[in-house]
Every structure is written in structure tokens, then in C-alpha cells.
Amino acid sequence: MHVGVNMMWLVIFGSPLANRIGNIRFIVFWFICSAVAAFAHLFIYPESYVPMVGASGAISGMMGAASRYGFRQVRTFSEDRRSEFAGPILSIGQSVTSRNVVGFIGTWIIIDIITGLATPSMGGEGSSIAWVAHIGGLVAGFFLIGLFDKRRNQEI
């Protein structure tokens, strides 16, 4: 179920982000958010021996990036019917004063915490879902997307 939900979020947030920033930048963004997510988990659970990839954290990073666009999307009218995030990236100040952004990020963090506390542990090491990694990836994507979007200040 976890993989299925991740794939759904990947389509919803990953596709428009990849279309906006390009494939190579998207892959680098993915790996950086994944690494930050894994390090966040390791920071909170330094004694953990459970293997972790960080893919969910990378997808959460895409959610953080999407919030910096204010979730605005535009569809191209070409044959491939692509969508991408639209407009300039919101500043951090604009983001934290936007009801949509704060509501989404707050809800996502609350869901992660509840999921982390409610899911059974693997080997007595906390939750079977790396909820801290989700939050770490979200924060990484929120703050790092500006480095990856070469059109960050352009209207689309």
C-alpha cells in the first residue's frame, strides 16, 4: 500500500515538477531530497539498523517544491498534454503566509506524525514507516527547489 500511495504522489507532484525543471535536474533533486530524508531519519534514530532508501522522502520533497509554486499548474496544448508547475516560485515569506501552502504542509506533517505513531514497529525501532524521512524530504524540497528551477522568477 505504501508503494502504491507513493506512486500516486509521484504522478501528481513529480510529473509537473519534472516538466518544469527538466529531467536531469529532476533526478538530481530526487537524489538530494532522498539523501536529506535519509539523514533526517538517521539523525532522529541513530541506532536504527532498518535499511532505508529515502524514496518516500524524495516524493515528499516534490510536495515541498510544489508548495513553493502555490500548487499552480499549466497544461501545454501539445499532443503530449503535459502539465507543469506555473509562475514564479513563491518566496518563503509568501509561502508561509499562503493558506493553501500552510494548510497543505501542516496537514502533511500531521499525517506523517500520526502515521509514524500509529504504525507498528519493525524490530522494536519505532514505526515501520520512516515518517521523519518524509518530513525531512518535505523541508528539503521546500527550501531547495529554487536552486533547480532556472525559470524561478519568470511568469509562465
- The string of pLDDT tens digits covering residues 55-108 is 889 999 999 999 999 877 676 555 555 677 888 899 999 999 999 999 999 999
CATH of the structural domain 2-148, one choice from 1.10.3470, 1.20.1530, 1.10.1060, 1.20.1540: 1.20.1540
Residue recorded with cell 530524508: 37
Of 44 and 54, more confident: 44
DSSP β-bridge partners for residue 75: 83
Q: How many CA atoms lie within 13 A of 50 on its CB side?
A: 18
At 155 the pLDDT is: 54
Which pLDDT tens digit goes with each residue over 134-144? 999 999 999 99
Cell of 21: 525543471
How far does the chain reach from its first CA to its final CA, in angstroms?
36
**Torsion 104-110-34-12 (CA) sign:** negative
Q: What is the pTM of this model?
A: 0.85
pLDDT range class, residue 147, cuts 50, 70, 90: very high
- Report whether pLDDT(125) > 60: no
> Are the CB atoms for 140 and 32 separated by under 8 Å?
yes
Sign of CA dihedral 82, 140, 50, 28: positive
Residue owning grid cell 507498528: 120
- Write down the domain spans for the chain: 2-148
pLDDT tens profile 26-51: 999 999 999 999 999 889 888 877 66
108: its cell numbers: 502533511
Per-residue model confidence (pLDDT) at position 123:
44
Check residue 1 and give its pLDDT.
74
Mean pLDDT of 114-118: 83
